[in-house]
């Protein structure tokens, strides 16, 4: 049985390696390290199908260094210790430290990662880790500090085109076929920067063809795959990147971008309630007093999603997204509570002024609780000057108005009441 196309085309040298020129191009950091014949431990971070495993194999082959590999999915602490022992024995017969390649290193537990530290520190092995998740979240700090971090990028269109042409002209199985690529937009769109995915799609199209004549068009690719070309892991880093882009687009008053990122979440299978919660937070944090209706709209969208379900719930979410993005912005309330919390932490439990205290008993009244309190509604305009902060903090300012039309009305009211205090 023939090996998968992606395996048949896996390059064995840098000349056939596609993409990542910022790392392996002429004069790039990894290229210089490889050319010098000496490498230090490092971690490759990037999405699936961009050449992490391939690059590790190429380095070992190029430098003729013993190569050991572990999968974080199937290996335990004992497996780690066993392979380190074998690598250490091998170290006696070679000048360079053997390479230990760990795929999906982010799946290693803390104890598994701890078991690597000594071997990496003493040079028993040179560690090359591969991960699709942010190492700063998933790799323990002592191990991360002993490794360089290199970021691999999704393959660009030119990289995918180069890979496609190589497959059609160099693979022995495909060369037997008469393959006519008339359109490639859908092919590259579904690949989404993933070399393995591109080759798998090509293989699917070829295997589904009737005979040796294969025509590839956008329509044929779409019909064959019947899926959406998305990379979205609800538990992974992309989840946080996309929700971050969504919120920042709302904050930046770009409804088009906000709708795009919301669509990415929807098509990726995100929980609608998660999107709705983020809208409520954004309405309070970023729009705030500049348009208090934003919080009402966000809450209404949340309620609507709960009542009508999916997929119709996407409509009130879209309505709220556009409304929030198009609203004037103010974070004065958000900044005010942040300042207040910081003040509390810095000054401790300041006593409540006597005139503000509750006096439900005669003894409390005799002690002066509530004495001197002025009931605001007894005065003209329902306001009278009075101290409300603790004595030691009586002159502190925490809320600063941002002069949007709605908020300006609040500010002018406070100026009329308090005068210079709120200037």
Within 13 Å of residue 189, how many CA atoms lie on the same side as its CB?
13
CA distances from 187 to 61, 79, 166, 181, 194 (A): 32, 40, 15, 10, 11
| SS3 state of residue 370 | coil
- Name every residue whose Cβ is closer than 8 Å to that of residue 297 and which is 6 or more positions away in sequence: 283, 319, 320, 323, 324
Identify how many contiguous H helices and E strands the chain contains and give both numbers.
Answer: 20, 7
pLDDT of res. 1 = 45
Q: Which two tokens stand for residue 199?
A: 């080759």
pLDDT of res. 238 = 62
Q: Which of 150, 71, 77, 82 is nearest to 110 (CA)?
A: 77
Q: Which two tokens stand for residue 5?
A: 């196309």
Q: Which two tokens stand for residue 182?
A: 């008339």
Angle (nearest 5°) at CA 6 between 30 and 46: 40
pTM of the model: 0.60
How far is Cα 390 from Cα 344, in angstroms, rounded to an integer? 11
Whole-number CA gyration radius for the chain: 31
| Residue 41 · residue 148 · CB < 8 Å | yes
pLDDT of res. 250 = 93
Q: Supply the DSSP string of 383-419, one letter for each residue.
A: ------S-GGGTT---------HHHHHHHHHHHHHHG
pLDDT of res. 97 = 79
pLDDT of res. 188 = 87
Per-residue pLDDT of the chain (423 residues; tens, 9 = 90+): 467 888 888 888 888 888 889 998 888 888 888 888 888 889 998 888 888 889 988 888 888 888 888 877 677 777 778 878 777 776 555 556 788 888 888 888 888 888 788 888 887 888 898 988 888 877 888 888 888 889 998 888 999 999 999 988 888 888 888 888 888 888 888 888 888 888 888 888 888 777 788 888 888 888 887 654 455 555 555 667 788 889 999 999 999 999 999 998 888 778 888 899 999 999 999 999 999 999 999 999 999 998 888 888 999 999 999 999 999 999 999 999 999 999 998 888 888 888 888 877 777 777 777 888 888 888 888 888 888 888 888 888 888 888 888 888 888 888 888 888 877
pLDDT of res. 340 = 92
């Amino acid at each position: 049985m023939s090996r998968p196309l992606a395996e048949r085309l896996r390059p064995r040298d840098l000349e056939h390696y596609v993409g990542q020129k910022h790392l392996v191009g002429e004069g790039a950091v990894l290229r210089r390290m490889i050319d010098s014949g000496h490498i230090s431990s490092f971690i490759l971070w990037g999405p699936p199908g961009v050449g992490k495993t391939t690059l590790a194999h190429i380095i070992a082959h190029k430098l003729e260094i013993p190569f050991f590999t572990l999968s974080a999915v199937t290996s335990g602490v004992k497996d780690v210790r066993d392979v380190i022992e074998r690598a250490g024995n091998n170290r006696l017969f070679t000048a360079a430290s053997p390479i230990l390649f760990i795929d999906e290193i982010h799946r290693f537990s803390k104890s598994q990662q701890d078991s690597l530290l000594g071997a990496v520190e003493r040079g028993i092995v040179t560690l090359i880790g591969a991960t699709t998740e942010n190492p700063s979240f998933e790799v323990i700090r002592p191990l991360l500090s002993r490794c360089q971090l290199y970021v691999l990028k999704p393959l660009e269109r030119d990289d995918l085109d180069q890979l496609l042409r190589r497959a059609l002209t160099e693979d022995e199985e495909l060369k037997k076929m008469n393959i006519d690529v008339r359109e490639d937009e859908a092919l590259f769109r579904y690949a989404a920067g993933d070399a393995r995915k591109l080759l798998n799609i090509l293989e699917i199209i070829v295997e589904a063809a009737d005979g040796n004549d294969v025509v590839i068009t956008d329509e044929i690719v779409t019909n064959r795959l019947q899926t959406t070309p998305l990379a979205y892991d609800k538990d992974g880093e992309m989840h946080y990147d996309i929700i971050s882009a969504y919120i920042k687009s709302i904050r930046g008053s770009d409804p088009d971008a906000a709708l795009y990122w919301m669509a990415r979440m929807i098509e990726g299978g995100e929980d609608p309630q998660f999107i709705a919660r983020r809208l409520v937070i954004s309405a309070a944090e970023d729009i705030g007093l500049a348009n208090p209706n934003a919080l009402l709209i966000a809450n209404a969208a949340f309620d609507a999603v709960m009542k009508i379900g999916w997929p119709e719930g996407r409509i009130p979410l879209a309505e709220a997204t556009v409304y929030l993005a198009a609203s004037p912005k103010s974070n004065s309330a958000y900044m005010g509570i942040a300042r207040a919390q910081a003040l509390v932490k810095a000054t401790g439990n300041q006593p409540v002024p006597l005139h503000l205290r509750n006096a439900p008993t005669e003894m409390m009244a005799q002690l002066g609780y509530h004495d001197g309190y002025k009931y605001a509604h007894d005065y003209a305009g329902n306001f009278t000057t009075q101290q409300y902060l603790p004595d030691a903090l009586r002159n502190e300012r925490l809320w600063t108005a941002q002069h949007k039309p709605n908020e300006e009305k609040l500010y002018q009211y406070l100026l009329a009441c308090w005068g210079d205090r709120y200037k």
